[in-house]
Structure 1
Amino acid sequence: MTEGAQRRQAETGKRYDVFHTDCPARNVVGHVTSRWGIWVLISLRSNALRFYELRESIQGVSEKMLAQTLRTLVRDGLVWREVEPTTPPQVTYGLTEFGRDIGEPLTELFDRITRRLPPYSAE
């Protein structure tokens, strides 16, 4: 799926200057590395989840912040959204190809961090 910043780059054929304040890629980087964006991408890396499953997997996120983060990531083309016409509607989210591509190094980063930290002790 080519959406958001990906599509704009393909149309222009130029490389983005992420250090420029008007760069659309800079916005996507900001969304991915936002407080909740990174957790959404990591949570969806294995499989698609419904909204409440996603909320349960990310401890500490409010419904409002999760909804805002998901809207942003869908708009950026990193996450897809599917609504089942039931009562109440069931909404499922998953990673697009672009989202999987971005999520892979994030997963590697998390794995490296957790391997290098000293053993966890609950005190």
Structure 2
Amino acid sequence: MDIVSTKTADAPGGLALQCRAEGHEISVYVVISAADLNAVAEVVPAEQFESDAQIHAAAVTSVEQAYDEVGEVLENMDPGDVAVFLCSDHEAYDAALDVLGYDGERAPAGLN
């Protein structure tokens, strides 16, 4: 899967990206967070919840599983949908960004 991502903003504990995957544009949030669906509401702006876009969330638990965990979500998305990847640690966060084809600044917002 060929994916290209660009940063659009900082997100609590991570980054907001615009991704082009298989010809589709999607919004993606990659954050370091516990795998808690309540965290999604803290990351995704209210206007995206109020839009017609579906919001997909998944935990990225390890470097070894990042490709499968991110890929599974992306395969089930439609153009304009939103994905949130809740990464268990910095290593899983970096691996998720690698899968998403992001090669810019990676420092998670609000974390050092």
Return the TM-score normalized by structure 1.
Answer: 0.31
Based on CA coordinates, which of the two structures has the bigger radius of gyration?
1
Which structure carries more strand by proportion? 2
TM-score, length-normalised on structure 2? 0.33
If asked which structure has higher relative contact order (CA below 8 Å, sep 6+), I would say 2
